Amino acid sequence: MPSKKTTQLDLWRSDFGRAYTDRNLHGFLERKTAFQTMIGDLEVNEILEVGCNQAGNLAVLAGLQPNYHLTGVEPNDYARSLAPNEDERIRVLPGTAFELPFLDATFDLVFTSNVLIHIALADLPLAMQEIYRVSRRYILAIEYYAEQETEIFYRGHTSSLWKRDFRKHFEDLYPSLRLQRHGIWDMSVGFDDSTWWLWEK
């Protein structure tokens, strides 16, 4: 099966994605408290981040719990090249949200952090289906929220960022998902005014 191509993936694989990575090399340690609140008490070992960039979030999680085995998938070659390689618990692989290179129910927890906002509405169900497929138990989405689909003109580009009600999108697609907790983060904990939802399958 040929790999899925979208204009958004093309953008993030280009110098635009490289510039994003260079702008966001620091500040991840501020997220430790937020991750502790979101997932610190869960009985999970295998964790996947979809769209991990240079794996800053995974490095934070590695410092949160010694038992975590952390995997990321990232389409941008440059971002992957900057991922930490000194911690054997972290691995970063090439991949996209549309074709996760894993068997069903591989991970205890699958999460995104401001990644689904960059996927066009027509393509969003496929990404959510893949996230659901490879999750054994939990799904965490940390994304920009709006009650109605709202496109944001993003650094000179259209059709590259949308605010949405991601809770509704997930629960419409998978009504059996059970919302365990949710909240809002801001820059004081290293997130850019993001809403988060944690579901259990």
The pLDDT of residue 2: 59
Other Cβ atoms less than 10 A from the Cβ of 132: the count is 18
Residues 146-155 pLDDT 10s: 999 999 999 9
- CA nearest to 75, candidates 52, 58, 55: 52
Cα–Cα distance for residue pair 31/183, rounded to 1 Å: 14
Share of the chain above pLDDT 70, in %: 99
The pLDDT of residue 25: 86
Residue 92 near residue 73, CB atoms below 8 Å: yes
Domain ranges of the chain: 7-200
Residues 32-71 pLDDT 10s: 999 999 999 999 999 999 999 999 999 999 999 999 999 9
Q: Please state the rounded mean pLDDT for residues 10-35.
A: 94
Cα–Cα distance for residue pair 7/161, rounded to 1 Å: 12
Cα–Cα distance for residue pair 73/86, rounded to 1 Å: 18
CATH homologous superfamily of domain 7-200?
Vaccinia Virus protein VP39 (3.40.50.150)
pLDDT at 4 exceeding the cut of 60: yes
Residues 96-105 pLDDT 10s: 999 999 999 9
Model-level pTM? 0.96
pLDDT band at 26 (very low <50, low <70, confident <90, very high): confident
Pair of tokens at residue 153: 């003109």
Cα–Cα distance for residue pair 79/54, rounded to 1 Å: 5
Residues 153-163 pLDDT 10s: 999 999 999 99
